[in-house]
Amino acid sequence: MDFLHLVFSFVVALGLLITVHEFGHFIVAKRLGVKVLRFSVGFGRPLWSRRAGPDQTEYVVAAIPLGGYVKMLDEREGEVAEIELPRAFNRQPLWVRIAIVVAGPLFNFLFAILAYWLMFVIGISGLRPIVDEVTPGSPAALAGLAGGDEIVMVAGRDTLTWQGVMQGIIRGALDEESIALQVRDDADGLRRLELDLAGVPLDDIAGRAFFTHLGAMPLRAKVPPVIGQLVAGGAAERSGLKPGDRIVNVDSQPMADWEEWRAYVQAHGGQAVDVQVEREGTILVISLTPDRVAAEEGVIGQIGAYSQGADRLGAEFYAVEQYSPLAAVGKALGKTGEVVGLTLSMLSKMLLLEISVENLSGPISIAQYASHSAKIGLSRFLEFLAIVSISLGILNLLPIPILDGGHLMYYLIELFKGRPVSEEAQLLGQRVGIALLVALMGLAFYNDLARLFS
């Protein structure tokens, strides 16, 4: 069921965004008098098709949902009747061709604004940015952050949730080494701090271990040390541990929560430990020897057991960002501009090799994010759609032949030279563009698989 949900979420998300992008090309072409022959969402074998409208445009849904296209009347792609020559794309003035090409990415940005607007009207919730633990010697500790502090502002922008803090710090780290924070302590006192990230690589801040490298862990619900699901044949099952067992202590050391229990297990791979558990009101002592397994951090202990689940934090630890329909317009515009700026900064840093290309994500990661956000709720799914729509718009504006940005590059050359780029040059550009896209997709797939199996 999880796999089906993942596939369904991916197809819905990507299909919607591709449709928006291609509809931009389609509607502007129609409005400017260009004849559209086909509107296709997806590539490959058609799963559904229908002809409609005065021009009998063919609408197609194809089998491979990784793109789409709008086919227009064009003398370069086939013979055109003399009466229809004024409606051929290649016969249009330069400004018309530019408008049609730009319309696809533009509609992606407009869709992002709409998605953010709807998200802010519905309201999006998240954990308030309250610090739980601070690692000694970390950037957070050196800045003066302490347990119980709530980060209320990053670089002059309000932060209602941890997600806002993360985005603010990542955005700041791309441009500056020092970031201004405003925090509120337990006594409601406000103070200004300077977070120095000079010694922290951008990859660490932008990567999955954000909180570890920052050195400030968010206040989360405590996971009690209660055994949930067991892995068949694992050390926990072999020792006699059962679902529902509460870990009281290990080698006479009390276990306060699941993280403490997991850390102890990982530190004792291959060593027998005495585990005191509470089972149905009875205290038992079980001898357990964690298996030794290889991990990124070295050889660790593993027993093959999952936690029963976390206790939920009270409502006072959550914040909801919600605005009136009118106020949400400004917030949506600002958010879209912010994400566009952040995406462009990340892209430029990658091109300058200041950030690893490992940060690129492909279809597998997109499918995972789509499924995860859809499970959380509509607001998070809308946020996901907005981010991917912005990425799709920016990607298509890159000056790579066969992408919209490549066509715009040709049109700019035509504008300065006074004549179109030769067909031979365009064919060569297509080959180069296809090679670049294949390489980019290959790298994205590799990153996805590396994350999946790491």
**Position 425: which residue type?**
A
Structure tokens at 15: 């299909």
φ/ψ bin of 293: left (φ > 0), alpha (ψ from -120 to 50), beta (otherwise)? beta
Output the DSSP codes for 403-428: SHHHHHHHHHHHHHHSSPPPHHHHHH
Candidates 237, 293, 238, 286; CA nearest to 269 is: 293
- Give the sign of the dihedral formed by CA 3, CA 9, CA 13, CA 19: positive
The arrangement of strands across the sheet holding 273-279 comes to 253-254, 246-250, 273-279, 282-288
- By the 8 A CB rule, do 76 and 56 touch? no
Candidates 94, 105, 84; CA nearest to 25 is: 105
Contact residues for 357 (Cβ-Cβ < 8 A; gap 6+): 350, 443, 447
Burial of 399 (0-12, 13-18, 19+ CB in 10 A): middle
- By the 8 A CB rule, do 407 and 101 touch? yes
H/E stretch holding 49 reads strand 36-52
For residues 137 and 126, give the distance between their C-alpha atoms in angstroms, rounded to a whole number.
28
**Position 306: which residue type?**
Y
Fill in the DSSP letter of residue 319.
E
For residues 386 and 122, give the distance between their C-alpha atoms in angstroms, rounded to a whole number.
15
Candidates 256, 252, 228, 254; CA nearest to 241 is: 228
Burial of 416 (0-12, 13-18, 19+ CB in 10 A): exposed
Strand, coil or helix: 266: helix
- By the 8 A CB rule, do 266 and 252 touch? no
Contact residues for 240 (Cβ-Cβ < 8 A; gap 6+): 286
Catalytic residue among 22, 150, 321, 383: 22
H/E stretch holding 107 reads helix 94-122
22 is catalytic: yes
Residues labelled as active-site residues: 22
